[in-house]
């Protein structure tokens, strides 16, 4: 199950007004300021297309191997990459709903501890959260790469289409 939306935000992605379920769309956002049944986009000003391309490049270069700084600690998809709004931020962490990845999280998963781990990655609705419990790391990373490629392609097509 995927979610799409009908307004654009500052980084060119569409924002959710009244989310609609459609095939192969995959994104909506919710914020504490939203009215019941209404969803709005993150406040993240980074270009979503560039961030997703960096994430894909990071993954293709083996980015989620063990950290040099903390080799005893497993790495976390999205949280341990430049995609995360709090990556290498030693100051006060930003709430997840400020991150552009929250734009892809279904409304009902916005309040999860790690919302980006609930982004539907495929038609079966698998997420990082579900795959962490049922798949090996390489399978999960391949699913994330496929989702990134599809999402990048969709955003590029949307931007190329005149309004």
Top-confidence residue, 72 or 114:
114
Q: Are 83 and 51 in contact (CB under 8 A)?
A: yes
CA distance 112 to 132: 15
In the predicted model, is pLDDT for residue 104 greater than 50?
yes
| Range with the poorest average pLDDT among 54-58, 60-64, 132-136 | 60-64
- Comparing 121 with 62, which gets the higher pLDDT? 121
Instruction: For 8-23, write each residue's pLDDT tens digit.
Output: 433 344 433 333 323 3
pTM for this model (two decimals): 0.71
pLDDT level of residue 149 (50, 70, 90 thresholds): very high
- Report which of residues 53 and 93 the model is more confident about: 53
Q: Which of residues 59 and 2 earns the better pLDDT score? A: 59
**Cα–Cα–Cα angle for 141, 145, 151, rounded to 5 degrees:** 140
Residue 14 pLDDT: 41
CA nearest neighbour of 155 among 8, 44, 16:
8
120 confidence band (pLDDT: 50, 70, 90): very high
Nearest by Cα to 13 from 56, 51, 60: 51
């Amino acid at each position: 199950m995927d979610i799409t939306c009908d307004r654009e935000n500052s980084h060119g992605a569409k924002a959710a007004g009244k989310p609609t379920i459609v095939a192969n769309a995959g994104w909506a956002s919710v914020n504490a300021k939203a009215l019941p049944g209404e969803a709005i986009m993150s406040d993240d000003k980074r270009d979503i297309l560039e961030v997703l391309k960096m994430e894909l490049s990071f993954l293709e270069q083996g980015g989620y191997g063990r950290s040099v700084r903390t080799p005893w600690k497993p790495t976390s998809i999205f949280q341990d990459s430049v995609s995360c709004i709090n990556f290498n931020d030693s100051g006060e962490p930003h709430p997840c709903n400020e991150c552009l990845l929250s734009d892809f999280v279904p409304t009902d998963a916005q309040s999860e501890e790690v919302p980006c781990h609930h982004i539907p990655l495929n038609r079966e609705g698998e997420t990082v959260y579900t795959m962490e419990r049922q798949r090996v790391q390489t399978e999960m990373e391949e699913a994330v790469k496929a989702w990134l490629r599809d999402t990048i392609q969709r955003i590029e097509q949307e931007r190329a289409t005149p309004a």
